Structure 1
Amino acid sequence: MYEGKIIKFYREKAKLTQQQLGEGICSDTHVSKIERGMTDYSPEITLLFSKRLGINIEEEIKRFKDIKKLLNRWHDAIIKEQFEEAEMIKDELEKEPLIQITDYQILYGLLRARYHLLHNRLKQADTIIKAIQTKHKELPPYERNLLKHLLGIYYLSKQDMIKAVNILKTISADDYKNPEYLLNLAAAYLAVNSKVMTYYYAEKSLQFFISTNNFLKVIDAETIILMTRESDGNGDFQKLVEQYKGLIHTCELCRVPNKKARLLDNLAFEYYSRQDYEVASRMYQQSMVLKEKKSVAFLISLEGFIRTCFEGNLLTNNELIMLCQEGLSISMEIHQVLYTINFKLLLHLINNQLREYYSYLSTDALPYLKKCGYVTLVQRYEKELFNYYLKIDEKSKALELADILINAG
């Protein structure tokens, strides 16, 4: 089975025809059948082929079989966010010539895309994914579902939550055998404000990560579960704060500053929601320090910090405008439409340009947010717009929005 594929690979590498390889050994027709696994042949023939090609066929068969194990180890290292291990395996695979044999090309390509997504290199991942989709109309079951998972991660990174939900929920658990995708599905449902589905999939993913000792992903799953919980009284809120602090401490022990930063953002938002602007602003600042400046993660913290300082009157307008311009510049440079919109809206608010703010909200922001599935943001902005139309006596527009809001409720 393997011998024919390996012989074909090294024959083509040596730029020999089937006739040249078989000369004095067997016919070119027989060579063709051996390469395609369509005939029986004696060990003596493969030995003669090996000698002519300058290879040890037994060693090559072992290497060929080991590639699948190496690919599985690479995927496991990526899932567990073991960056050094993933880098070492990537380098090893890149030096392996047999990876080019068709059996592993699709899986190798998909895992290369997954590796780029791990490092948030969306352009490189997208290029690989599109190339695979173009070349391979029909994929084996596992690879087909892995592709769906990659697309889900890609859409999440691109802030297109509706596409993320729609693709991730079509994954076949029986064919894929990688429940990690349930965490991504939970994150997508959280973004579209479906908290029941969020909790359900986050809890399922949590059990999987606990069973596989994937402690970093346990933090992610527990973070999402915390975000589905609502605290009514002060006692509930203090309990929520303690849970967040416990996870933050775990991040410090595991030395994962990116996860700690995300938790700080979430806790900052909890304080912001309760109008405790001083504490919220400090937490957003702590989070920003842990992040790469030209990243979506940094923009999340920066936007939260600006909103907190604006509503809490903690900075001057000039200081806020400078921060907004910085955020807008980064958003445009890294092609983040959502944050470009958010910082433009903030600039209008800070400059007290209410007419421009609501005009931009109506014509640009809301259509984009609806298209991408940001349910919570859409509902918040529609309520803002409704109140504004009532205030300026635009009753027909207010009635249109009222109808939307009633149906949404």
Structure 2
Amino acid sequence: MGLTQKDLAKGICSVSHLSKIENKSKDANIETISLLFEKLNIDKSEINEKEEQIKSQLMLLNEKMLFFQKNDVDLIFDKLVEIEDIIPFSTSLYTYELSKYRYFLFKGELKRAQQQENLLNKQKKNFSQQENYLFLHYNAICLILQGHYQKADTVLETLMTLNNNEFVSGELFYHRALVKSSLEHSDHAIYFGKKALQSFMNDHNFIRILHTLMLLGINYTYSRIYEEALECFQHLIRNAELLNEAHFLPHVFHNIGYLKTKMEKYHEALYFYEKSLSLQSEDTPYYLMTLYTIGESLYILQEIDKSQEVFERVLEQSKKLSSQKYILLSKYYLKSMSSYKESIEFLEMKVIPYLEESKEHPDTLNRFYRLLSTHYRQLARYEKAVKYIEKIS
């Protein structure tokens, strides 16, 4: 309304008293609140009427986000925004502000989420124990979205310690598994993923079950527990189709392809990579990644002409998407088809430094380290051969 604190407090209370009320460092009596409401043209009866509506809508919003019911989430959030001017005078102020924070994270609106985090940081001294727990959990999700996995892991570990693991939610287990997966701690990712899966199954949270099965399948693959990985992916295919969540399928087929690659069943891997590619839209990073793995599979199978054709497409596509990683990798393979010596030099001078700097997954780096180690061993340059053996993790 354009009023200063002095304007609002005049004839009612001191400015310092008003400031303490606003900062929740002092409770106001009913008479003072009534006078403040009167000056602000706020109808207290309207707030009382809306109180239950606010609470029920907030509960519904958080439930829909928890169960990943994306279409409903926006509708409920819009209804809350319509009555946003009343919410600060209700008992649900912090619940609403925390729910907004979770909503922005849920939508992937990182900038707005960070602004909301800054706002909540100023008020956290007034949070209840449950509100503080939610704030820390949402901070961890924010860190995950920013790629700060180690920091996120520390926050999630704190939350689990605070709860003594007694009341840890499926969401907390899932995010811990996700972080451990991103940190390449597959054993821990499987441990927390199984706990998340059990929790989501108990709650019949079917979309989150799909997310967790994907996470488990990937980490079983990295841990070479291939039967368990394949079982996860097969469950995913069946359930994604039943739940009409077809957008999961390209990722599932790609990951089965990777599983088959790890098992050195390259013809089977190629089948699943191609199946994944057929379900994807071009000009996307994921399409580029799958196209690249098809080129690699063909190269391993010694189908050089087909492989060359695919890597030329990868190079063209990666330039469009400004993907330095796939520009370098496709160039390496194309060089290897014309000049082994040039390809080795390019691998050592360009590809390896880039992959190391960008913290590429060890599986990719280890393969190239072995290749270089073998190359230098054959040249009797044992010092360099050992250098690359020692890099293998």
Specify if TM > 0.5: yes
Residue from 185, 199, 223 that aligns with 2:190: 199
Aligned match of 1:377 = 364
Within 5 Å, give how 1:9-408 maps onto structure 2.
13=1, 15=3, 23=11, 26-27=12-13, 32=18, 37-42=26-31, 50-63=37-50, 66-67=53-54, 69-95=56-82, 96-99=84-87, 103=94, 106-117=97-108, 124-126=109-111, 128-129=113-114, 132-133=117-118, 136=121, 139=124, 140=127, 141-155=132-146, 158=147, 165-166=153-154, 168-172=156-160, 174=162, 178-229=169-220, 241=230, 244-312=233-301, 313=303, 316-329=306-319, 331-332=321-322, 340-352=324-336, 353-369=343-359, 374-405=361-392, 408=393
Aligned with 2:170: secondary structure?
A: coil
User: How many residue pairs get matched?
Assistant: 370
TM-score (norm 1): 0.74
Query: In structure 2, do the counterparts of structure 1 residues 327 and 14 end up closer, same or farther at CA, with 3 Å as the change threshold?
Result: same
Higher mean displacement: 384-393 or 33-42: 33-42
Q: CA deviation at 1:20?
A: 5.7
1:156-192 per-residue CA deviation (whole Å, 9 max, x = no partner) reads xx5x655554554444464695431322322333344
Q: For the residues of structure 2 that align with 1:362 and 1:34, how far apart are their CA atoms?
A: 60
Judge conservation of contact 2:276–2:290 (CA < 8 Å) in 1.
Answer: yes
Q: For the residues of structure 1 that align with 2:79 and 2:16, how far apart are their CA atoms?
A: 34
Aligned with 2:387: secondary structure?
A: helix
Q: CA deviation at 1:16?
A: 6.7
Judge conservation of contact 2:373–2:388 (CA < 8 Å) in 1.
Answer: yes
TM-score (norm 2): 0.77
Judge conservation of contact 1:257–1:290 (CA < 8 Å) in 2.
Answer: no
1:96-138 per-residue CA deviation (whole Å, 9 max, x = no partner) reads 2245676357514422431232xxxxxx414532663487367
Q: For the residues of structure 1 that align with 2:334 and 2:328, how far apart are their CA atoms?
A: 10
Query: In structure 2, do the counterparts of structure 1 residues 237 and 143 end up closer, same or farther at CA, with 3 Å as the change threshold?
Result: closer
Q: For the residues of structure 1 that align with 2:71 and 2:254, how far apart are their CA atoms?
A: 27
Query: In structure 2, do the counterparts of structure 1 residues 273 and 184 end up closer, same or farther at CA, with 3 Å as the change threshold?
Result: same
Question: Which structure has the higher relative contact order (CA within 8 Å, separation 6+)?
Answer: 1
Q: For the residues of structure 1 that align with 2:388 and 2:16, how far apart are their CA atoms?
A: 74
Q: For the residues of structure 1 that align with 2:181 and 2:209, how far apart are their CA atoms?
A: 17
Judge conservation of contact 1:324–1:347 (CA < 8 Å) in 2.
Answer: no
Query: In structure 2, do the counterparts of structure 1 residues 131 and 209 end up closer, same or farther at CA, with 3 Å as the change threshold?
Result: closer
Judge conservation of contact 1:345–1:360 (CA < 8 Å) in 2.
Answer: no
Judge conservation of contact 1:180–1:205 (CA < 8 Å) in 2.
Answer: yes
Judge conservation of contact 2:318–2:327 (CA < 8 Å) in 1.
Answer: yes
Q: CA deviation at 1:57?
A: 0.6
Query: In structure 2, do the counterparts of structure 1 residues 211 and 354 end up closer, same or farther at CA, with 3 Å as the change threshold?
Result: same
How many percent of aligned residue pairs carry the same amino acid?
15
Aligned with 2:29: secondary structure?
A: coil
Query: In structure 2, do the counterparts of structure 1 residues 87 and 38 end up closer, same or farther at CA, with 3 Å as the change threshold?
Result: closer
Judge conservation of contact 1:185–1:201 (CA < 8 Å) in 2.
Answer: yes
Query: In structure 2, do the counterparts of structure 1 residues 395 and 165 end up closer, same or farther at CA, with 3 Å as the change threshold?
Result: farther
Q: For the residues of structure 1 that align with 2:286 and 2:194, how far apart are their CA atoms?
A: 24
Q: For the residues of structure 1 that align with 2:135 and 2:156, how far apart are their CA atoms?
A: 12
Q: CA deviation at 1:219?
A: 2.0
Root-mean-square deviation (Å) = 3.8
1:249-285 per-residue CA deviation (whole Å, 9 max, x = no partner) reads 2111101123222211111122333444443233223
Q: For the residues of structure 2 that align with 1:193 and 1:142, how far apart are their CA atoms?
A: 26
Q: CA deviation at 1:224?
A: 2.9
Q: CA deviation at 1:41?
A: 3.3
**Structure 1 unaligned runs (5+)?**
1-12, 118-123, 333-338
Q: For the residues of structure 2 that align with 1:320 and 1:177, how far apart are their CA atoms?
A: 47
Judge conservation of contact 1:265–1:287 (CA < 8 Å) in 2.
Answer: yes
Q: Which amino acid aligns with 1:206?
A: L
Q: For the residues of structure 2 that align with 1:60 and 1:232, how far apart are their CA atoms?
A: 56
